[in-house]
Structure 1
């Protein structure tokens, strides 16, 4: 959907009795930027950009609102089938996958080690080809990441990582959705990991910096994260201007942290190491003593099941604990992980960037004042006394004498009336909100703003 903004602006101005002409209009990044997820595997979050992960979170929040709150029936995957390979048992992964896929109209097929032996009675290549002929996607919860890589290479359908020894991406999507719901925005948060350098930590390291989140991780000596993952995480932190701290001191990792996170110390397949691990992890239990050095708004996450030695009851059952919303969000994020591989219907319009509007020899800069995130537009930071022009695909409105500082509630009411909310957005603004339906383009332009350029 392309149109000439300069002509549209001039027409709007002339119809409303204004004499100025838009001499020049320019934008930063192109607005039409469609996220392509159809047919892609979800093996690790390192294969996805920050915008692509944000898109998945936005769709998860949208599905959650429309299905859970509004009671809508969305058979987006009707007639589709999902193969579920579980070498490792799991309450949350199985329930969230089966119920989520069924809610979208699909048919999940659960396969245990009694039904399928990857690479034993049949080669991974043959298994991948058979599953490709009978199902539309496969979610595999396996011991080895290399098995997932082989399945993805040989299969002609999307492969989703339900858990492996190296990564657990679907859990981290649920974690981020939970934090987004609680804090409104992920950017600037400090994640404090206290525990094993395992697949959960690896997935956080592959994605946190892409959201502008800092990571402070404490692991016992000998239980640090994989060196190859650490090297790539350091690169991401440098590229995104975030901090990455790896330490052996739990209190150092917790210091100033917004989110305290831990996980099981003994994963399935590590039962023989239980005595050794319990000894190595002494002092790593998350308690209120740990929380005292965290940020004042600290919260707690654990992917479950939880053992008392990992986190005490006072923290685990406190109002700051988000573990049960986190568990529920596995359902909504896993629905998107399956849907995104099969079907991609939605357009996403990204940040406007630096835009300028010239009128009556006055230049007004819009950077940092208007941002678009996943088709939902917000006002951020300071708002100035100015006129407002709303340009939409369907209609053009021009207002004058609207004082955005003193009449934010009036403006919000106007915008809400023009475009009623379809769903709760995943991100919340501190000021006015405009909700946009799918495929709609809406731009906010400040006209005849203050003489000095806002900073």
Structure 2
């Protein structure tokens, strides 16, 4: 039976922890896993990408597979072909599909009609592949995940939504600080809190970044204006007090690390001095996209 990865909660806690261990193992021997030998994996990208595209292309190649990059504007989907028809056609050619696009509902529909594994490489609602790499990075730095506190400061976007669900799934604490009107999705908060009933994770939503960062082990941020958003100047003004600065970090744990999923707009969501102080963490986090996604593909395709 095929498995998709559209939401971080498509994996259970044990699978995520095992996946992290395997990703760390693959980090030491990049060609060890040949799960994708003689397989062709399509990569449909409706949005521009650096880390996601390259990490998947390289990972598929290292696992013995053939990555096929498909620019969204070059497909018939961009001209109105039904998603379900596209899914049924691609099922005849490909062994798996990675998709990075705008609408999460479109990905869900595509997965319904594509009869092999589908991986969500980013939608307007979730970014689960990013959080897998982030969890690996935290584990490598702290030796565990369950006991840490993550503070997410910025826009309640797809990354924040996924962090909240991951908190409930695994059982760590998260505090999300956004300006009023920019809170995370209610459905993500509800899912996270329902999952947390079984794991003990604590999910806190606030409009005060100092409150969120207090005693945090990890302070995390993302760009204030995501791709496709038009109100850039307005958002920058609203978010001006939600920047990760040394002053804000003074409220966090003394052993705090700062993470950013990149690209970074230094001087906006994060000051340049903070970014450079934690650049080793941030670029290790970026590298881990490759390893965690390979571990994920091993799980889905083996």
The answer, yes or no, to whether TM exceeds 0.5 is: yes
Picking from 101, 104, 129, the partner of 2:63 is 104
Bigger mean CA offset, 311-320 vs 296-305: 311-320
| Alignment partner, residue 243 of structure 2 | 285
Picking from 202, 207, 230, the partner of 2:166 is 207
Distance across 2 between alignment mates of 1:48 and 1:334: 13
Bigger mean CA offset, 187-196 vs 316-325: 316-325
| Alignment partner, residue 92 of structure 1 | 51
| Alignment partner, residue 220 of structure 1 | 179
How far residue 276 of structure 1 moved from its aligned partner, in angstroms, is: 1.3
| Alignment partner, residue 110 of structure 2 | 151
Instruction: Indicate if the aligned counterparts of 2:257 and 2:281 stay in contact, CA closer than 8 A.
Output: yes
Q: 1:190 to 1:269 in 2, by over 3 A?
A: same
| Alignment partner, residue 143 of structure 2 | 184
- Give 5+ residue unaligned stretches, structure 1: 1-37, 344-455
**Correspondence 1:51 to 2:17:** no
How far residue 155 of structure 1 moved from its aligned partner, in angstroms, is: 1.1
How far residue 314 of structure 1 moved from its aligned partner, in angstroms, is: 1.3
Distance across 2 between alignment mates of 1:226 and 1:260: 20
Distance across 1 between alignment mates of 2:33 and 2:297: 14
Distance across 2 between alignment mates of 1:337 and 1:74: 12
Distance across 2 between alignment mates of 1:46 and 1:77: 24
More helix by share: 2
Picking from 199, 209, 212, the partner of 1:253 is 212
Instruction: Indicate if the aligned counterparts of 1:299 and 1:320 stay in contact, CA closer than 8 A.
Output: no
Picking from 176, 189, 198, the partner of 1:230 is 189
Picking from 224, 230, 233, the partner of 1:275 is 233
Instruction: Indicate if the aligned counterparts of 1:315 and 1:321 stay in contact, CA closer than 8 A.
Output: no
Instruction: Indicate if the aligned counterparts of 2:36 and 2:64 stay in contact, CA closer than 8 A.
Output: yes
Instruction: Indicate if the aligned counterparts of 2:45 and 2:72 stay in contact, CA closer than 8 A.
Output: yes
Picking from 56, 72, 76, the partner of 1:113 is 72
TM-score normalised per structure 2: 0.96
How far residue 113 of structure 1 moved from its aligned partner, in angstroms, is: 2.4
How far residue 46 of structure 1 moved from its aligned partner, in angstroms, is: 2.1
**Correspondence 1:300 to 2:258:** yes
Q: 1:116 to 1:291 in 2, by over 3 A?
A: same
Bigger mean CA offset, 120-129 vs 186-195: 120-129
3-state DSSP of counterpart to 1:242: coil
How far residue 212 of structure 1 moved from its aligned partner, in angstroms, is: 2.5
How far residue 238 of structure 1 moved from its aligned partner, in angstroms, is: 3.0
How far residue 239 of structure 1 moved from its aligned partner, in angstroms, is: 2.6
How far residue 321 of structure 1 moved from its aligned partner, in angstroms, is: 5.4
Q: 1:334 to 1:186 in 2, by over 3 A?
A: same
Instruction: Indicate if the aligned counterparts of 1:219 and 1:248 stay in contact, CA closer than 8 A.
Output: yes
| Alignment partner, residue 293 of structure 2 | 334
Distance across 2 between alignment mates of 1:42 and 1:304: 22
How far residue 83 of structure 1 moved from its aligned partner, in angstroms, is: 0.4
- CA deviation digits over 1:248-276, x for unaligned, max 9? 00111000000000001111100x21011
Instruction: Indicate if the aligned counterparts of 2:96 and 2:116 stay in contact, CA closer than 8 A.
Output: yes
Q: 1:62 to 1:218 in 2, by over 3 A?
A: same
- CA deviation digits over 1:15-64, x for unaligned, max 9? xxxxxxxxxxxxxxxxxxxxxxx721000012221112112212211211
| Alignment partner, residue 23 of structure 2 | 60
Q: 1:117 to 1:322 in 2, by over 3 A?
A: farther
Instruction: Indicate if the aligned counterparts of 1:301 and 1:321 stay in contact, CA closer than 8 A.
Output: no
3-state DSSP of counterpart to 1:163: coil
TM-score normalised per structure 1: 0.64
- CA deviation digits over 1:118-158, x for unaligned, max 9? 36342111110111111100000010000100011111111
3-state DSSP of counterpart to 2:189: helix
Instruction: Indicate if the aligned counterparts of 1:299 and 1:321 stay in contact, CA closer than 8 A.
Output: no
